[in-house]
């Protein structure tokens, strides 16, 4: 986890992300939804691995599943026809967020407040 706390690492990540955003907005490459979807899923996996490494850090669950939901939404936009992918976008994001709060409650039942945004 030392790499994730490095300022240089995050600086490089933000610079590369900015370059990718610029190239996508200039229509230099196609398939931006596919790339961003995979990156969001990777970040979600990093958050969830942080929870698996230290179960007392229950707060990793919510952003982890939120990033997974955004990644799934982006991948569905890239891989499925618009008529199918359009209605699924909100379901992936909000569904993952709701499941994240339910898992926070299940991981630590003392966090009863997580039931409210989960429902």
pLDDT at 69: 94
Q: What is the pTM of this model?
A: 0.79
Residues 96 and 107 grouped into a single domain: yes
Give the chain's domain count: 2
Does the pLDDT of residue 23 top 80, yes or no? yes
Question: How many whole angstroms separate alpha carbon 72 and alpha carbon 91?
Answer: 10
Judgement on whether residues 67 and 101 belong to the same structural domain of the protein: yes
Distance CA(42)–CA(34), nearest Å, equals 12
pLDDT-derived band at 6 (thresholds 50, 70, 90) equals confident
User: For residue 10, what are its two tokens?
Assistant: 């995050």
Reply yes or no on whether the pLDDT at 1 is more than 70: no
pLDDT, tens only, 51-95? 999 888 898 999 999 999 999 998 888 888 888 888 888 899 999
Q: Tell me: the pLDDT tens digits for 37-53?
A: 888 999 999 999 989 99
For residue 110, what are the domain limits?
31-118
Residues 111 and 96 in one domain: yes
* Residues 55/82, Cβ–Cβ less than 8 Å: no
C-alpha distances out from residue 72 to 4, 14, 47, 77, Å = 24, 22, 16, 9
Contact 117, 100 (CB under 8 A): no
Mean pLDDT estimate for the chain: 87
Q: Are residues 7 and 63 located together in one domain of the fold?
A: no
């Amino acid at each position: 986890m030392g790499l994730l706390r490095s300022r240089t690492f995050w600086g490089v990540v933000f610079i590369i992300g900015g370059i990718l955003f610029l190239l996508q907005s200039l229509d230099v490459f196609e398939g931006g939804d596919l790339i961003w979807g995979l990156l969001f899923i990777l970040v979600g996996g990093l958050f969830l691995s942080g929870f698996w490494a230290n179960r007392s850090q229950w707060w990793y669950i919510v952003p982890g599943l939120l990033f997974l939901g955004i990644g799934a939404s982006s991948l569905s936009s890239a891989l499925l026809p618009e008529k199918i992918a359009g209605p699924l976008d909100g379901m992936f994001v909000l569904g993952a967020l709701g499941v994240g709060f339910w898992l926070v409650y299940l991981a630590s039942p003392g966090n009863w407040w997580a039931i409210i945004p989960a429902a």
